[in-house]
């Protein structure tokens, strides 16, 4: 990121990080198809959530947390 410019992906990651501070987030580019959005608890690296979009990952996070940000 240069000059303080952020694209929609950067903004989506920043939003997830702000809403879910106990989780780590990263993206994995796919050879075919969309990028994978990934998350894991900072205290438990054994469980990883994967989705094809930021919105899909947010749904998985809500399910994992019982509906409330953790």
* Per-residue confidence in pLDDT tens, the chain, 70 aa: 445 567 999 999 999 999 999 999 999 999 998 899 999 999 999 999 999 999 999 999 999 988 666 5
Q: Where are the domains of the chain?
A: 8-64
Q: What is the dihedral of CA 50, 16, 27, 48, to 10 degrees?
A: -30
CA distance between the termini of the chain: 28
31-37 long-range contacts (CB < 8 A, ≥24 apart) are 35/9
pTM metric for this prediction: 0.82
């Amino acid at each position: 990121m240069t000059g303080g410019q952020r694209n929609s992906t950067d903004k989506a990651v920043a939003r997830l990080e702000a809403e879910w501070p106990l989780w780590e987030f990263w993206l994995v580019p796919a050879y075919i198809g969309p990028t994978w959005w990934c998350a894991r608890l900072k205290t438990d690296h054994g469980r990883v959530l994967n989705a094809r979009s930021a919105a899909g990952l947010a749904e998985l996070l809500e399910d994992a947390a019982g509906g409330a940000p953790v």
